[in-house]
Amino acid sequence: MKRSLMIARFPGGDVEHPDCVDWLLQAYAWAKDEPTISEIGLWRMNDTPVSMSRNAAIATAQHKHFDYVLMVDSDMAPDCEPGGKPFLPTAWQFALAHDGPCLVGAPYCSGPPIEKALAYRWNAEPNGTPRLEEYSREEAAQRTGIERVAALATGLMLIDMRAIAKLTPPYFHYEFTDSRQVRKASTEDIVFTRDLSIAGVPLFINWESWAGHWKAKLVRKPEVLHVSEAQSRLATLLRTREASNAPEAIPPVAPVVAADPPESTEPQLSLLDSGD
């Protein structure tokens, strides 16, 4: 049976990286020739906050009755690793063969200086409190195949629209550390995928379809760096990365989120975000 696909883009400032544009052209050409795709819809929004734009994409797909949504952020460089498997064909065939709705995403890292792998698994505190735990860079670099995860970032992701029925809107939203909203506790994409995971929707990451993630870096005046100072900076960087891989606990959660869940059952992420 054929399925329809909507490609959703978020060109901030009406700009998309050339790597992303090149990939989109190739992805569209593949989709046009794919016999299991009945229709391709093209959608984009240049607005902030990005949580609103992502919710608008979902609303449009629902209104137009698309079966799947492919979300592609403007700063992505999909299929950037030599020898990797192409994300869209691999994710599409996996999703079609999966028994029930699922979500498939590409792995990528946050911006410098930490560049953490944006994939998470469930773990627990000694008292049994569930929490999200990041995969370390070393783990992410060595994993292969398609693996089920607890949450992941949405820079390049294929969403089975049947999964959305498991959630209540808004599907994408930020969480903050307190009512003043001066510090993020979690970003909209991690909230979305975490909530789907809690609702029982399987989330998968294709470790063989890595995407690049373009982030601006200020290049400064060269400086003379002595060996002792280099060692000190390296030690500081390693401590920072270790700290970033130790997320705080989140409150207990219900195993499934049904329609209109009580607020007390919604977990809160502690300082976990996609680095956008």
Whether residue 248 contacts residue 132, with contact meaning beta carbons closer than 8 Å, is answered with no
Binning pLDDT at 50, 70 and 90, where does residue 245 land?
Answer: low
CB neighbour class for 253 (10 Å; exposed up to 12, middle 13-18, buried from 19): buried
pLDDT at residue 264, rounded to an integer: 42
pLDDT, residue 107, reads: 98
Query: How far apart, in whole angstroms, are the C-alpha atoms of residue 166 and residue 126?
Result: 30
pLDDT number for residue 244? 64
Classify domain 3-219+240-265 by CATH architecture: Alpha-Beta Complex (3.90)
* Single pTM value for the model: 0.81
Q: Which of 233, 267, 242, 274 is nearest to 253 (CA)?
A: 267
Residue 271: left (phi > 0), alpha (psi -120 to 50), or beta? left
Largest CA distance in the chain: 64
Q: Identify the pLDDT of residue 254.
A: 40
Kindly provide the residue ranges of all beta strands, DSSP E only, lying in 12-93, ordered along the sequence.
37-44, 68-73, 76-77
Query: How much is the pLDDT for 272?
Result: 57
Listing DSSP states for 231-251 in one string gives HHHHHHHHHHHHHHT-PPP--
- 54-58, 77-81, 201-205, 218-222: lowest mean pLDDT where? 218-222
Split at pLDDT 50, 70, 90, the class of 224 is confident
The yes-or-no verdict on residue 34 having pLDDT over 60 is yes
Residue range 219-229: mean pLDDT, rounded: 80
CA dihedral over 31, 32, 36, 41, signed as positive or negative: positive
Domain segments of the chain: what residues?
3-219+240-265
What pLDDT score does 242 carry? 74
pLDDT for 263 beyond 60: no
**What integer best gives the mean pLDDT of the chain?**
89
Give CA–CA dist 72/99, Å, rounded: 25
